[in-house]
């Protein structure tokens, strides 16, 4: 069955959903995106994603083509028209189509596209029970990782390198310290303390990260926001990653070193439960 896709004000069958070859998203990766999870037909942390989108657009001096209320309505329409129970909504906004020029064009209407991906049982991913394996790779991305742009080729290369190495994902390392995962924020747990890199231009300010750290503090867990090395991670009691689509995902192996007993740790498991419970309560 054909999905309904939103393109520049219209709800279209996916075969008819098209953008121009002159679109700057295509020519310059001049665009930003968001991914919002849907559980039980409801949006998880929509407000956080909308806020980060506004910031990404403003950092790139791009106009928002729709208001936050309109954006919410489009998300809801797509959930309903595509009958999404569990899944994801992908949103991309680019600077629009214009003659190729490195300078930002004046008066070009932005392009806005949203589509859904159905993922039945998204919250019951079997990987969360087994935990995932990661490898470390050099972080060669640009210096403004806090802006959620569509330049995802390097993360894509790293995910392929992980796959070839028999792992599930990669952790990016810069100047000897872990920045984050290819598409998630990275954490270790040592002696009960949760350690994750502090916010800066070096990492994406994860919406799930913000929620998980808040829930951890509310549950009296100790959180330390600082960078850590791969050696420190290999020696940790447990590790995990967070993102809107994976929620809290335990990591059980780093560069071949098995953490703890090789099973998801107690802190990651507990935080996953709390995150899913609390997020379902506030889903809209």
Nearest approach, Cβ of residue 155 and ligand PMP (Å): 6
**Does position 272 bind ligand PMP by CB under 6 A?**
no
The smaller minimum CB distance to ligand PMP, of residues 2 and 282, is found at 282
Cβ nearer to ligand PMP, comparing 12 with 35: 35
Q: Nearer to ligand PMP by C-beta: 98 or 211? A: 211
The residues, ordered by sequence, that sit 6+ positions from 247 with a Cβ below 8 Å of its Cβ are: 37, 123, 128, 208, 272, 275, 276, 279
CB of 213 to ligand PMP, least distance (A): 11
Residues numbered 71-130 forming contacts with ligand PMP, rule: CB under 6 A: none
From residue 230 to residue 259, the character string flagging contacts with ligand PMP as x (rule: CB under 6 A) and all else as - is: ------------xxx---------------
- Shortest distance (Å) from residue 2 CB to ligand PMP: 27
Residue of 53, 94, 92, 90 whose CA lies nearest to 75: 90
Reduced to 3 states (helix: H, G, I; strand: E, B; else coil), residue 158 is helix
Nearest C-alpha neighbor of 191 from the set 221, 219, 218, 212: 221
Rounded to a whole number of angstroms, the minimum distance from the CB of residue 4 to ligand PMP is: 24
Cβ proximity to ligand PMP: between 8 and 117 the closer is 117
Q: Where are the beta strands (DSSP E) in 57-198?
A: 87-94, 111-118, 132-138, 169-174, 177-181, 185-190, 193-196
Catalytic residue among 133, 148, 177, 281: 148
Q: Can you give the length of the chain in residues? A: 284
Residues near 141 by beta carbon (within 8 Å), at least 6 away in sequence: 151, 154, 155, 172
164 flagged as catalytic: no
**Minimum CB–partner distance for residue 194 and ligand PMP (Å):** 16
| Smallest gap from residue 49 Cβ to ligand PMP (A) | 7
End-to-end Cα, the chain, rounded Å: 26
Where in 135-154 is the site for ligand PMP (CB under 6 A)? none
Tell how far CA 21 is from the center of its chain.
27
DSSP lists the bridge partners of residue 239 as 188, 251
CB closer to ligand PMP out of 24 and 209: 209
Phi and psi at 146, nearest 5°, equal -75, -15
Separation between Cα atoms, residue 34 and residue 12, nearest integer Å: 20
**Per-residue x/- track, 13-42, ligand PMP (CB under 6 A):** ----------------------x-------
Asked if 39 and 123 touch (Cβ cutoff 8 Å), the reply is yes
Build a one-symbol-per-residue string for 171-210: x at contacts with ligand PMP by CB under 6 A, - elsewhere. Answer: ---------x--xxx------------------x-xxxx-
9 Ramachandran zone, left/alpha/beta (phi>0; psi -120 to 50): left
Total interface residues for ligand PMP by CB under 6 A: 13
Residues making contact with ligand PMP (CB under 6 A): 35, 180, 183-185, 204, 206-209, 242-244
Cite the active site residues. Answer: 148
């Amino acid at each position: 069955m054909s999905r309904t896709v939103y393109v520049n004000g219209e709800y279209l069958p996916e075969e008819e959903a098209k953008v121009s070859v002159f679109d700057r998203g295509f020519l310059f990766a001049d665009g930003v995106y968001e991914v919002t999870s849907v559980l039980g037909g409801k949006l998880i942390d929509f407000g956080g994603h909308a806020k980060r989108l506004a910031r990404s657009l403003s950092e790139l001096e791009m106009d928002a083509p729709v208001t936050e209320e309109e954006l919410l309505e489009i998300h809801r329409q797509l959930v309903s028209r595509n009958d999404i129970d569990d899944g994801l909504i992908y949103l991309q906004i680019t600077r629009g189509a214009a003659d190729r020029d490195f300078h930002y064009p004046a008066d070009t209407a932005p392009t806005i596209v949203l589509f859904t991906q159905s993922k039945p049982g998204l919250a019951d991913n079997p990987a969360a029970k087994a935990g995932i394996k990661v490898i470390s790779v050099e972080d060669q991305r640009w210096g403004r990782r806090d802006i959620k742009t569509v330049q995802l080729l390097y993360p894509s290369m790293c995910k392929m390198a992980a796959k070839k190495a028999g792992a599930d994902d990669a952790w990016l390392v810069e100047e000897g310290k872990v920045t984050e995962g290819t598409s998630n924020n990275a954490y270790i747990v040592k002696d009960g303390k949760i350690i994750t890199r502090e916010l800066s231009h070096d990492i994406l300010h994860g919406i799930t990260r913000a929620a998980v750290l808040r829930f951890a503090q509310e549950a009296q867990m100790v959180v330390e926001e600082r960078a850590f090395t791969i050696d420190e991670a290999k020696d940790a009691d447990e590790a995990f990653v967070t993102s809107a689509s994976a929620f809290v995902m335990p990591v059980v192996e780093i560069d071949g070193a098995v953490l703890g007993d090789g099973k998801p740790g107690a802190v990651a498991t507990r935080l996953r439960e709390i995150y899913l419970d609390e997020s379902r309560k506030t889903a809209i």
